[in-house]
Amino acid sequence: MNGRTYSACTADGCKCPDGFKGDGIHKCEDIDECKERTACQCKECNCKNTWGSYECGCSGGLLYMKEHDTCISKSAAAQVGWNFLWVVFFGLAAVGIAAYAVYKYRIRRYMDSEIRAIMAQYMPLENQGEIPSNSHHIEM
């Protein structure tokens, strides 16, 4: 950028870093990613070359996604996020209601069986039949 160059040699040899081109010995010059059209190519993208890199933005209030080299709507991303949140919320609510219904059913069955057991100790129930009595009348 602006004609600046440098060399990039280490103990392993000479090589230009990312964002630069050249032999690494005599010179490494900045790659203009915007002119060479290697990045920031979507129609809403605004490219600005920087020293060793580039900056990409989007017009119209859009959000740039570097990994996909595209612009997306900020509100659409937020809408998808809220929809996902609502699905999770209603899913958890449905699971909670189902768990409560199962709990109530099981506790009611348990309580019914306990009440029947207690009542059976004091009086015969209709489905148990008569309990024979072994009482003998003793005369004195």
Q: Could you give the CA distance from residue 124 to residue 128 in angstroms, rounded to a whole number?
A: 6
> Which DSSP state fits 83?
H
Counting every residue written for the chain, the total comes to 140
Q: For 23-76, how does the pLDDT look when each residue is reduced to its tens digit (9 = 90+)?
A: 878 888 888 888 888 888 888 888 898 988 888 888 887 888 888 888 887 765
pLDDT score recorded for residue 39: 82
Cα–Cα nearest to 30, from 64, 66, 4, 62: 4
Kindly list the domain boundaries of the chain, sorted by start residue.
Answer: 1-30, 37-76, 77-114
Statement: residue 95 has pLDDT above 90? yes
Please state, as a whole number, how many other Cβ atoms lie within 10 Å of the Cβ of residue 95.
10
Question: Max alpha carbon distance in the chain (Å)?
Answer: 132
Computed over every residue of the chain, the mean pLDDT equals 80
With a cut of 60, say whether residue 97 has pLDDT above it. Answer: yes
